[in-house]
Structure 1
Amino acid sequence: MSEPLGAAVSLAPPPPDATSAGLPTAQRVLPLRRPGRLLATAVVLVLVAQFVHGLVSNPFYQWDRFAYWFLRPTLLDGLLITLEVTALSAVLGLLGGIVLALARLSRSPVLRAVSWTYVWALRSVPLIVVLIFLYNFSALYKTLSIGVPFGPAFLTFDESRLATDMAVAVVGLSLNEAAYAAEVVRGGILSVDQGQQEAAAALGLPRGHQFRRIVLPQALRSIVPAYVNQLIGLIKGTSLVFYVSLLDLFGAAQTMGSTYPGDIVPLLLVVTVWYLILTSLVSLVQFYVERHYARGATRSLPPTPFHRLRDGLRDLRERARREAAV
């Protein structure tokens, strides 16, 4: 009688008389040797070791001065300004991007044309040019007014009082961020299958309800990874606000470097480490947000970094055990 499908195959050693009776003996399956991969791993480890040794042993980095500057109040104040500018610009840029994306998808030719022109113009002009242009905006328009076009003005504002350094930085970054966020949001919305909207329309659901409850939750799976990349770029882009007289983290380091020219390298290392910390935290949040929206779309949720580390150590132990048994 044949064994049922899925029955386990025993690899136990044969009885003592199996060989003399001509029965086949069990064979141990050995992993395939890959010398190229081992050689590449060894080369990479050597290069990493040399890099770390250079960081630690090179006196030019002045790690004692790095430790002195890392938590200085001047740099921490600049870090707070960087966080404030990033948070405000990210929120305003995302809201503007949603409005622009909906305008691009609108049936109105005017809204589509204006949205396309805005995205085309802001993505074509460098961010530093936008910031410097806004910083000198008062030279073009000394006052801003709201009223009837070519008619009387109801409200008038003094542009020089409104255009503070913080306002110029936030407005410039938000305008630039909205252009890129618009394409991210539009791409996420278009990634949702058209049949989803048709099914919702067949059920008689209002268009706003279709967008909030059906289209947007599915679009977020595509929007979140792309927009987090934009957010990481925004964090690094805040270093340009130094050119509009706002002392963020990079601006504070530049100012201290002018006062203490011998500490330029340690100050740049401090800035580098803080940017690495900020972008790493954003990437961690991105992972868990993506994991949240992956529910129901994948058979199993992506493993967390802790799970990956645990599984990797377990695989190494099993591999070492197999190698020792050979």
Structure 2
Amino acid sequence: MTQVAAVAERRRNEEPDLRVVPARFVGRWVAAVAVVGILAMAIYAMFTNERFHWDVVGEYLFAAPVLSGLAKTLMLTGVSMLIGVLLGIVVAVCRLSSNPILSSAAWAYSWFFRGTPLMVQLLFWFFLAALIPTIVLGVPFGPELLSIDTNSVISPFTAALLGLSLNEGAYMGEIVRSGIRAIPPGQTEAAKAIGMSRLQTMRRVVLPQAMRVIIPPTGNETIGMLKYTSLVIVIGYSELLTSVSIIYSRNFQTIPLLIVAAIWYLAVTAVFSVGQHFIERHFERGFTPMKGKKPPTPGTAAAVVPSAAEPAAAPTNEPELEPTK
């Protein structure tokens, strides 16, 4: 046995026996068992308690009034979100404007509609006729060209649309503004250098890149808007919850009809979540690394040895310098 082998054998005998023992996450398993147990008890109670009246749920799940209310909920959600997104873009651009009047007006709009409850705004628009009995169109401080009765214009649908879309526009303005500010200033400077106007820069350079930041909270706002439409019950617009409440006020089956509404809300939310996932994946192209490929870590052969496609460095004729003492 050589001297090196003898030293290695001696060190091996002197070192303690170190074995890798996998960590035992006892708390996680206890929590998982508790969650499964609670879920099992909840499912058992749901299907063994006769007061849920699942037969009534199945009877009214696809009833014509419920489906009509669902269609109105979807229409109100879609139109309100469309108007809210457009308003949000305008508000965000005005907030970032160098004009103090535009930026102050946009800030005041966001402050007011985010600072007051949505239900108060819905009631305000519905009872607008008490404040302005007649809507007058004409020259400011001049003659009147057209006069319209406010009650004939502000219907329950109009009041719901105004309340939801104006409130959503304030929140979308902050979301869009945060997405625009996430883009490096060099992108805007490069667009200006090639002669793009401010509008072209915003439409072709900034907004397409900001969508990666804007889409996730916008999807959450859309799902939230679906649920906020239930607040229009206070102004009598017959969306999903209002249609269900009209039915259970007649047959007194309150819980089964509320379960019907909850099932439809959950189903539509699931569809929106799937759509949000695919939209996010579309706008994240080019920002996330390719799956299955990892960058080489420093110190590995892949990071040091040049590939076959890369030419090796040409040898130089310079003499090698000796280290100084």
Within 5 Å, which residues of 2 pair with 1:1-326?
A: 31-261=22-252, 263-300=253-290
Is the contact made by 1:89 and 1:173 (CA closer than 8 Å) also made in structure 2? yes
CA offset at residue 30 of structure 1?
7.2
For residues 114-172 of structure 1, give each alpha carbon's deviation from its aligned partner in whole angstroms, at most 9, with x where no partner exists: 11111101111111111111111112212212222221123332222111111111111
For residues 225-266 of structure 1, give each alpha carbon's deviation from its aligned partner in whole angstroms, at most 9, with x where no partner exists: 1111111111101001111111110001111111111x1000
Partner of 2:313: none
CA offset at residue 213 of structure 1?
1.6
Is the contact made by 1:169 and 1:241 (CA closer than 8 Å) also made in structure 2? yes
CA offset at residue 29 of structure 1?
7.7
Q: Tell me the distance in 1 between the aligned counterparts of 2:291 and 2:115.
A: 39
Q: Tell me the distance in 1 between the aligned counterparts of 2:291 and 2:155.
A: 46
CA offset at residue 41 of structure 1?
1.7
Q: Tell me the distance in 1 between the aligned counterparts of 2:178 and 2:234.
A: 33
Secondary structure of 1:192 counterpart: coil
Q: Tell me the distance in 2 between the aligned counterparts of 1:116 and 1:240.
A: 26
TM-score where L is the length of structure 1: 0.80
Q: Tell me the distance in 2 between the aligned counterparts of 1:273 and 1:227.
A: 23
TM-score where L is the length of structure 2: 0.81
**Which 5+ residue runs of structure 2 have no aligned equivalent?**
1-18, 293-325
The alignment covers a number of residue pairs equal to 276
Partner of 1:3: none
Secondary structure of 1:172 counterpart: helix
Is the contact made by 1:66 and 1:270 (CA closer than 8 Å) also made in structure 2? yes
Q: Tell me the distance in 2 between the aligned counterparts of 1:97 and 1:154.
A: 31
Q: Tell me the distance in 2 between the aligned counterparts of 1:161 and 1:171.
A: 15
Q: Tell me the distance in 1 between the aligned counterparts of 2:77 and 2:141.
A: 37
CA offset at residue 299 of structure 1?
0.3
AA aligned opposite 2:262: T
Give the stretch that moved more between structures: 115-124 or 135-144: 135-144
Is the contact made by 1:78 and 1:251 (CA closer than 8 Å) also made in structure 2? yes
Percent of aligned positions with the same letter in both sequences?
A: 39
AA aligned opposite 1:300: M
Is the contact made by 1:196 and 1:215 (CA closer than 8 Å) also made in structure 2? yes
Q: Tell me the distance in 2 between the aligned counterparts of 1:188 and 1:107.
A: 18
Secondary structure of 1:286 counterpart: helix
Secondary structure of 2:136 counterpart: strand
Is the contact made by 1:127 and 1:176 (CA closer than 8 Å) also made in structure 2? yes
**Which 5+ residue runs of structure 1 have no aligned equivalent?**
1-27, 303-326
CA offset at residue 300 of structure 1?
2.9
Secondary structure of 1:144 counterpart: strand
Secondary structure of 1:157 counterpart: strand
Q: Tell me the distance in 2 between the aligned counterparts of 1:162 and 1:242.
A: 19
For residues 65-113 of structure 1, give each alpha carbon's deviation from its aligned partner in whole angstroms, at most 9, with x where no partner exists: 1111111111111111111111111111111111111111111111111
Q: What is the root-mean-square deviation in Å for CA atoms of aligned residues? A: 1.9
Computing the radius of gyration from Cα coordinates, the structure with the larger value is 2
